[in-house]
Chains A and B, each alone.
Chain A
Amino acid sequence: MTTLVEPQGALAAKAPARVKKVVVLGSSALKIGEAGEFDYSGSQAIKALAEEGIETVLINPNIATIQTSEGLADSVYFLPIEPGFVERVLEKERPDGLLLSFGGQTALNCGVALHDSGVLERLGIRVLGTPVDTIKTTEDRDLFVRSLDEIGVHTPRSRAASRVDEAIEFAHEIGYPVMLRIAFALGGLGSGPCFDEDELKDRAGRALAHTGQVLVEEYLAGWKEVEYEVVRDRFDNCLTVCNMENFDPLGIHTGESIVVAPSQTLDNHEYHMLREIAVRTVRHLGVVGECNIQYALDPSSRAYRVIEVNARLSRSSALASKATGYPLAFVASKLALGYGLDELPNAVTRKTSAFFEPALDYCVVKMPRWDLKKFRRVSQRIGSSMKSVGEVMAIGRSFEEAFQKAIRMLDIGARGLVANGTDFEFGDLEEELTQPTDQRVFAVVEAMRQGWSVDRVHELSRIDRWFLERIRHVLDLEGALKVYGSNDEIPPEALLEAKRAGYSDKQVAVLTDRSFEDVWEAREQHGIKPSVRQIDTLAAEFPAKTNYLYLTYHGDDDDIAPDPSGEHDKGTVLILGSGTYRIGCSVEFDWCCVNAARTLRKLGYKTALVNYNPETVSTDYDESDFLLFDEISHESVREIYERLDASGVIVSMGGQIPNNLALKLHDSGLRILGTSADSIDSAENRHKFSSLLDDLKIDQPDWAELNTIEEAKRFARDVGYPVLIRPSYVLSGAAMAVATNDGELETYLDRAALVTPDYPTVISKFLVNAKELECDAVAKDGELIVYAISEHVENAGVHSGDATLVFPAQRTYLETMRRIRKITREVAKRLKINGPFNIQFIAKENDVKVIECNLRASRSFPFVSKVIKHNFIDAATRAIVGEPVSKPEKGAFDLNYVGVKAPQFSFTRLEGADPLLGVEMASTGEVGCIGDDFNEAFLKALVSVGFKLPVKSVLVSAGPIESKAELLAPLRTLRRKGVTLYGTDKTASFLQDNDIDVQRVEWPLETDGASATTLIQEGGVDLVINIPSSEQEREITNGYRIRRAAVDYAVPLITNRQAATRFIDALVRGAESGLQVKAWDEY
């Protein structure tokens, strides 16, 4: 007989044309809405292609990623993901395939543009995987809604509008509030509910400046938000790998929501109804590879709406991969090549096939991490547009266990849901619940503490009662623990119950008035220890071959034995990862961890990585022998160390979190590999470090340790304002500030004291008009092995993470370089450094001062390693474990090219933030580009972070008189080149006085008519240079208006005098015509 089930297209489909060479587009710099997850997906894609013997070419200016590391792609271009550059690479490389879906929205948009302009067709390049037409259907709201209508799948009532008046008309028809959404955008950029016409007018107007289309739709308040990750092959086999439920109701972007996998409050009918719709929709759309589908689900009926489909790998797919162990990006790449799901193995069991839906026997909780406090004037409210900068994922066998772990992982000072002292207090609880902020979870706790019922909290917050009941359970246990005073023994059952609900030893200690050590001892005594559990994709139905692990107190046994073979006499080394990405700590530290693990493996060590950030490559289970997806805390690292019978722990790769644990772990008897914990403390504690420098006669800015405000004022008067206030043990300049007078000093001191009350705060003289440099280095037993000195374009005062770095240094005196080298050597020797370190310097003439030293890998390690083509982490890792280290073949002076690292800001998404630079870091990512000279590398880097060339018109507000003077000559040349100059009041006068042709525009606050901001809004300028007139200017001023308009309307903005001068200089020298398309290995 003939088969009953027609092989729909299956056997009929012809084999895919073999591709030999594929270009992969990366996602460029990390930014809000598009972060580390695409390093994970791109890296997996490259691995998947390489396995097939396909030549891979990667374009990505994000130099700190794993995907751009040696040994992955066959060639790498550190170039902008922008149609012009990509076209040139395609012409040069002539690939036959292109992968668009692994580099986020950036890559997708770029690929669609290349398709539309006919470039792909002209060059005969096929887009692998999901066809461009499908991508367009999912991106164009109107097409999307119509397509889903065809198969009877519901979407919110909506209408697309390309003009503001169209939007208003439809809103009138369906009634307010309405949801405004944006086509071809991500992270909910510019989207949000509009409660009246004014709001709609404003939002739609701004959105239409970025994009051609907005969508006005019914606002589904209080519905549940649910997502499915779907894979489909070209044989039409289709399945859902994971479903996820948002803890927060619809209206809060999934990237801003706490997300739980699998769904907890959906019954079988709902789960499978949505699953079936997912499969039907994805088949109808014709996705080949991976995609995600988002739903709104009515909490009181079977009604649902499809919110969107992302026909590419996404943040959610990275999360789903980590949550289930199903390598979505890897599988998606194979599907794009034409494989069927049934032909691919399940990477975890290696026995079963990739055509399956994982069964979880644990619960996963993802929480976003925000850094909103860094930005004054940015609302703390969360909504349909993304503001978070990172996320954590916690795994447990109960919701409470995972939830409390996740809170701790955020590293925001909370110990969990409870036992947080007075850190979280709220003025108006009701408002806090109805208009949630990043603190909403603590508001829920507070409300319950005050006796509010679950129903009341639910009515206000629209968080499902089930989640609220589980939170209340944690609170109940708090009450139960509190009855034990410092002299009572906690009964083992109570202790176990607390641990099962995710209480840390520290929480228990705080609640029962005893020390953390006492709780640990009590657990030891009663045998209350966590189980090590495997994530195996099939809920123990088949044995797993991979060591993807987590800890839980809901277990009787361990799934694995440490080093079962016993053959590894070199032992197991624990590497502590970087935790959540945040401002100041992101993919660069993941690069360090992954490279350290790779080196250790090469050297014959077993490696165990501890990390909990789902956006990373370090949490791919093939990167280490044991992957511990769990907390990086004193308690859990100790447990893991014990359980794996580790021989040592590396704390210098994952940034500040592991660095801060060094002393505690050392005191608990763990072996810290590399530089000693004492030395780390001597460098971190600014007081100790300053004394050390004095001792070594190394110069540093005048400083004093603070005890009282009076002393501080006296010091400031002695050395003269401005002064800088720096708390110890923080990264990315948190709570650091420059004070120019007594009043400011007092304000800032108060803030600093709140941040780290356990450590002294240091105040120092703030140097103006000085250069900043840094040295990344590796030492072995105190001897300097390799080093790289980079200079900053911006003067000191712009945080090194926000500065433009040049390596090798181009404008630094040889004498300065020599002094820096000497100081670096002396510090290495004095602290007996064994591993990576970084020192920051300030130089004025040849006077070199040290501002800080970190005995760990730094943000710039991948950048300098890749520019100099010598892997500093490989060297550092060898030094740490005492293996021989080779010196680089060439010194920095032999390079006949230059690398420039430029910051990526996400101010557009941080509504209201003043895009000014200062001593607190504000950038969310970075790029690094290479050029034959500084100008070439600099322009490539700037284009990579959103600058547009050519520049035909510039709006200038030149700031203080020195700055006006400095910009005069460059602006004159620029004008001579035919660039139109617009100037605000005094700048215009100044330029006119100097015979430069300039068009005067009004300050926005000084006129009701057309002003500088109107000019920006109407697309009248290609660049805004706005140099603030005072260091401290942060008020709602004219300057702020202009800067904000530039950011809101996506016009490139420069606020730093040195950067402006160098940029104009590069332009007038015609550097933009010489931007070459050269691969990394061609330098």
Chain B
Amino acid sequence: MTSVRESTPAVRVEPPTARPEVHRARILLEDGSTYEGVSFGRHASTSGEFVFCTGMMGYPETLTDPSYCGQVVVSTYPMVGNYGVPARDHADPIDGTLESDRIWVKGLVVADYSPWHSHWTSRGSLGEWLDDEGITGVTGIDTRALTKRLREHGSMLGKIVVDEADCDFDDPNIENLATRVSVREPVTYAPTGNTLARVALLDCGVKLNIIRSLTRRGVEVLRVPWDHPVDALGVDGLMISNGPGNPRFLRSAARVVRTAIDDDMPTFGVCMGNQLVALAIGASTFKLKYGHRGQNQPVREVGTRRCYVTSQNHGFAVAPGTLPNGWSPWFENLNDGTNEGLRHESGRFFSVQFHPEACPGPVDTAFLFDRFVEVLTR
């Protein structure tokens, strides 16, 4: 168990100005609005696309989720850092709890950063970790006001200016982010227990818990770069991961998916995977005003009364009106009716917009991996 500050006398009488280095940080959004706070973690200016996330916990998982590549995340929950951060070996693809081996967000904006942390798994403070990874945090921001703005104007470019060191806006949506987050070479992960099946995992920025969810179920995972052909790999199925950015940059990935489906290879897509399946079958995607980012997104299985609470993190969605014959919407969002999944009538190809692997978030839909394994081993 860790508690950062060791025994010092409780009441230290010193005026607030004498406190160790306060770095003023200003947030500047595209639309000209500004917010004043103080930086923590790395005290350096940064910029990116500002998005808000409504999850109340799970910052280590969120920060390491590659889907946040290029984005500055605004936490609507005010107090962040409470339970510190786990050891780095938590990025272990088998036993760990982190979602990749590094932080992907470009910045983190909170209302009340907690330098004090306490948890039996904690190995340091959130601030220390951000600093180690060169990531800027800002605290003291009215994140509710900021969120309301993002809700009204949609996700926006913005920057964090620390100590008056200005920087440029940086639009992550003009490039193919998959090239930044994907593995360069194929990697194989052995399952726990007997091997029931082998799948290729198209890595568009995979969260490690997708791999864990498969290996734990006896599936050997062959993780390949985002546009790597899979027809010659001799696998039983294709898993398409989550990932950052606009799916339209990933045309070649969509072609890989197309080929797999044409080959009747069982296919399961998650998040970006849902959008790539859509593109592969000729449907279209569009950008949501401010996306879904949180751990409380309700979805219903179309045609049933079954509802699930899901973890989500996406800015683009599939236009369900554009689906070809044989395909239908599978899940829909109960809040705004947007598409949350696709399925083919054969039952061999399907995808979801939410994150059945959770981490962070509810594990209600983890059973989807069981269904996939069922199809793989049928």
Stretch at the interface among A476-484, A640-648, A686-694: A476-484
Q: Which 10 pairs, one residue from A and one from B, show the smallest C-beta to C-beta distance?
A: A453-B7, A469-B116, A268-B58, A448-B10, A539-B76, A465-B118, A479-B11, A1-B347, A359-B54, A466-B118
**A451:B143 contact, CB within 8 angstroms:** no
Taking the complex as formed, is A517 at the interface, i.e. its CB lies under 8 A from any CB of chain B? no
Give 1 or 0 for each of B111-146: 1 = CB within 8 Å of chain A CB.
110101111110000000000000000000011110
**B118:A4 contact, CB within 8 angstroms:** no
**B76:A542 contact, CB within 8 angstroms:** no
Stretch at the interface among A35-43, A161-169, A368-376, A489-497: A489-497
**B16:A540 contact, CB within 8 angstroms:** no
**B54:A272 contact, CB within 8 angstroms:** no
**A5:B347 contact, CB within 8 angstroms:** no
Chain A residues with CB under 8 A of B362: 272, 275-276, 357
Taking the complex as formed, is B6 at the interface, i.e. its CB lies under 8 A from any CB of chain A? yes
**A268:B305 contact, CB within 8 angstroms:** no
Q: In whole Å, how far is B98's beta carbon from the nearest beta carbon of chain A?
A: 10
**Chain A binding surface SS class:** loop
Chain B residues with CB under 8 A of A494: 15-16
**B307:A355 contact, CB within 8 angstroms:** yes
Stretch at the interface among A170-178, A552-560, A578-586: A552-560
Q: Which chain A residues in 471-510 approach chain B with CB under 8 Å? A: 472-473, 475-476, 478-480, 482-483, 491, 493-494, 497
Taking the complex as formed, is A219 at the interface, i.e. its CB lies under 8 A from any CB of chain B? no
Taking the complex as formed, is B303 at the interface, i.e. its CB lies under 8 A from any CB of chain A? yes
Taking the complex as formed, is A526 at the interface, i.e. its CB lies under 8 A from any CB of chain B? no
**B54:A538 contact, CB within 8 angstroms:** yes
Taking the complex as formed, is A456 at the interface, i.e. its CB lies under 8 A from any CB of chain B? yes
Q: Which chain A residues in 437-481 approach chain B with CB under 8 Å? A: 448-456, 458, 464-466, 469-470, 472-473, 475-476, 478-480
Chain A residues packing against B (C-beta within 8 Å): 1-5, 7-8, 10-11, 235-237, 239, 262-269, 271-272, 275-276, 279, 299-301, 340-342, 351-353, 355-363, 397-399, 448-456, 458, 464-466, 469-470, 472-473, 475-476, 478-480, 482-483, 491, 493-494, 497, 531, 533, 538-543, 554-557, 559
Chain A residues with CB under 8 A of B143: 361
Taking the complex as formed, is B378 at the interface, i.e. its CB lies under 8 A from any CB of chain A? no
Q: In whole Å, how far is B183's beta carbon from the nearest beta carbon of chain A?
A: 25
Chain B residues with CB under 8 A of A353: 298, 334-335
Chain B residues with CB under 8 A of A478: 11
**B97:A11 contact, CB within 8 angstroms:** no
Taking the complex as formed, is B60 at the interface, i.e. its CB lies under 8 A from any CB of chain A? yes
Q: How many residues of B contact A (CB 8 A)?
A: 81
Give the residue name and chain of the B residue nearest to A346 (CB): B335
Taking the complex as formed, is B296 at the interface, i.e. its CB lies under 8 A from any CB of chain A? yes
Q: Which chain B residues in 130-167 approach chain A with CB under 8 Å? A: 142-145, 147-148, 151
**B300:A342 contact, CB within 8 angstroms:** yes
**B151:A340 contact, CB within 8 angstroms:** no
Chain A residues with CB under 8 A of B334: 342, 352-353, 355-356
**Given that A268-B97, A540-B144 are contacting pairs, would A358 and B296 also be in contact in the complex, using a CB cutoff of 8 Å?**
yes
Stretch at the interface among B77-85, B100-108, B171-179: B77-85
A478 to B5, CA, bound (A): 18
A455 to B5, CA, bound (A): 9
Q: In whole Å, how far is A119's beta carbon from the nearest beta carbon of chain B?
A: 34
**B119:A355 contact, CB within 8 angstroms:** no
Chain B residues with CB under 8 A of A554: 78, 111-112, 142
**Chain B binding surface SS class:** loop
A472 to B54, CA, bound (A): 28
**Given that A300-B120, A465-B1, A491-B16 are contacting pairs, would A541 and B79 also be in contact in the complex, using a CB cutoff of 8 Å?**
no
**A479:B145 contact, CB within 8 angstroms:** no
**Given that A237-B305, A359-B55, A493-B16 are contacting pairs, would A465 and B3 also be in contact in the complex, using a CB cutoff of 8 Å?**
yes
A843 to B146, CA, bound (A): 66
Chain A residues with CB under 8 A of B363: 272, 275-276
Give the residue name and chain of the B residue nearest to A466 (CB): B118
Taking the complex as formed, is B309 at the interface, i.e. its CB lies under 8 A from any CB of chain A? yes
**B358:A272 contact, CB within 8 angstroms:** yes
**B16:A342 contact, CB within 8 angstroms:** no
A956 to B282, CA, bound (A): 91
Taking the complex as formed, is B243 at the interface, i.e. its CB lies under 8 A from any CB of chain A? no
Q: Which chain B residues in 54-98 approach chain A with CB under 8 Å? A: 54-58, 60-61, 76-79, 82-83, 86, 97
**Given that A271-B57, A480-B16, A540-B151 are contacting pairs, would A360 and B77 also be in contact in the complex, using a CB cutoff of 8 Å?**
yes
Chain A residues with CB under 8 A of B8: 453
Chain A residues with CB under 8 A of B330: 4
A566 to B195, CA, bound (A): 70
Which one, A4, A8, A342, A555, contacts B343 given CB within 8 A? Answer: A4
Chain A residues with CB under 8 A of B12: 476, 479
**A540:B114 contact, CB within 8 angstroms:** no
A472 to B83, CA, bound (A): 17
Q: In whole Å, how far is B360's beta carbon from the nearest beta carbon of chain A?
A: 4
Which one, A237, A451, A479, A539, contacts B307 given CB within 8 A? Answer: A237
A465 to B147, CA, bound (A): 31
A469 to B1, CA, bound (A): 14
**A342:B305 contact, CB within 8 angstroms:** yes
Which one, B86, B151, B303, B306, contacts A237 given CB within 8 A? Answer: B306
Taking the complex as formed, is B325 at the interface, i.e. its CB lies under 8 A from any CB of chain A? no
Q: Provide 8 A-B residue pairs closer than 8 Å at the C-beta atoms, listed in order of the A residue.
A: A5-B371, A357-B362, A363-B78, A363-B79, A475-B10, A479-B12, A533-B144, A541-B76
